[in-house]
Chains A and B, each alone.
Chain A
Amino acid sequence: MDKDLEITFVKALESNQNIVHKICRIYTSNSHDHKDLFQEVTIQLWKAYPKFRGDSKFSTWMYRIALNTAITLYRKSTRRIKTSDLDAIHFKLKDEEPEDDEHLKQLYKAIRWLSDIEKALIFLYLEDTPYKEIAETLGISEGNVRVKLNRTKNKLRQLLNP
């Protein structure tokens, strides 16, 4: 693959890596698995990059590949354990408020109890992704997205406020 393509890809991924990290935090429970999944996602993104025509934003395209990798490829290769260890979750908030920090940790903890598909749905919801795009990313109908997302949101509410 030519060098220019490689440079564009690396730059785009570097500036959008936050998306991949968030997905890794949802689907893995320790830093080793986090790095592993990040690498797997990077490889899959790079493999698919020549077909990326720029019709959609790079970040939107990333959602699909990264989630697909986390759900299908990564699930096949590892058996992940759901954990309640909040210290294992590393992130940084723009305005550091201790309360926000704690809330976000609780959110991650709750999300980790969801199924792989539910995790993807909630992730896309939190990322403010339109229903149409969620449907395209997950390969289900828009109506189905509404129903499933409502169910998942209720489940998450229960997990957050037991």
Chain B
Amino acid sequence: MELDGLKNIWNKQTTGDTDKISTLEIYKMIHAKSSTTVKWIFIISLIELGLGLVIGVFSAFFDSYHTAIEQMKEQKIYSYFEFTSLIIYVVILCFIGMFFYQYKKISVAANINQLMHTIVNTRKVVRYYILFNLSATGIVCATAMLFGISKGYNDAMIADGIQDPHMPFKIWIFASIIMLVVIGLFILILWYIYKLIYGRLLKKLYKNHQELLEMD
């Protein structure tokens, strides 16, 4: 076989139907930025979990942590604390798994519809993730504060010589309102932080989705 002869055959090549990439596919390729965004969502959620674990381990070095554990054991709510923590970590791990699954799915999306579908799903999962984190924080904080208030009141009463004290209803209501305001503010701050971190990524996904919708 001579190279010059092969050159002629080489130049007879056209794009076969198997390979041919349509205009729509090219558009998809240059607009498929979402996989990077989903990858970042996955990474950030991992960092968040890692940070939570580090704070958990770090707090074990403080005496106040051990005192709190002892008090929880005394009040027989330590098992509740352990169970809640376990549930929260399992659910967070499930969310992280879902982010990874969406990332894998978006990377191999074969057409615009699949890509858009994955973007919509990812946005939904992120929203549920944020909602879960905020609700879990609210529930854990409320329980901890109720426990703290009740324990504080009882300790104060016992110190004053009152045996087997019961917190009056009015104080309960007042404490609950204060508690709701404090937790509400805390969740608002947390929501704002989530909005800063994930909001930008969600906006990017939305923009990409709109671009894809226009060309579909």
| B9: A residues at CB distance < 8 A | 93, 100, 103-104, 107
Q: Is B13 within 8 A of A46, CB to CB?
A: no
Q: Is B12 within 8 A of A17, CB to CB?
A: no
Give the contacting residue for B23; candidates A11, A38, A91, A106; CB below 8 A: A11
Give the contact stretch, choosing among A54-62, A73-81, A137-145, A152-160: A152-160
How far does the Cβ of A33 sit from chain B's closest Cβ, in whole Å? 13
| B15: A residues at CB distance < 8 A | 17-18, 21, 92
Known: A14-B23, A128-B7. A100 touches B1 (CB 8 A): no
Q: Is B1 within 8 A of A106, CB to CB?
A: yes
| A157: B residues at CB distance < 8 A | 3
Q: Is A126 within 8 A of B14, CB to CB?
A: no
Nearest A residue to B1 via CB reads A160
Q: How many residues of A contact B (CB 8 A)?
A: 37
A136 close to B (CB within 8 Å): no
B21 close to A (CB within 8 Å): yes
| B16: A residues at CB distance < 8 A | 90-92
Q: Is B1 within 8 A of A22, CB to CB?
A: no
Known: A42-B29, A161-B1. A14 touches B21 (CB 8 A): yes
B11 close to A (CB within 8 Å): yes
Q: Is B18 within 8 A of A90, CB to CB?
A: yes
B55 close to A (CB within 8 Å): no
Within 8 A of A (CB), among B2-38: 3, 5-7, 9-23, 26-27, 29-30, 32
Within 8 A of A (CB), among B23-71: 23, 26-27, 29-30, 32
Q: Is A95 within 8 A of B12, CB to CB?
A: yes
The docked-state distance in angstroms from the alpha carbon of A11 to that of B21 is: 11
| A46: B residues at CB distance < 8 A | 29-30
Known: A95-B12, A104-B9, A107-B9. A90 touches B26 (CB 8 A): no
The docked-state distance in angstroms from the alpha carbon of A11 to that of B26 is: 9
The docked-state distance in angstroms from the alpha carbon of A46 to that of B10 is: 27
Q: Is A10 within 8 A of B3, CB to CB?
A: no
Q: Which residues of B contact A (CB under 8 A)?
A: 1, 3, 5-7, 9-23, 26-27, 29-30, 32
- 9 CB contacts below 8 A, A to B, read A10-B23, A17-B15, A18-B13, A42-B30, A103-B5, A107-B6, A126-B11, A160-B1, A161-B1
Q: Which residues of A contact B (CB under 8 A)?
A: 6, 9-11, 13-14, 17-18, 21-22, 31, 34, 38-39, 42-43, 46, 90-95, 100, 103-104, 106-107, 125-128, 153, 156-157, 160-161
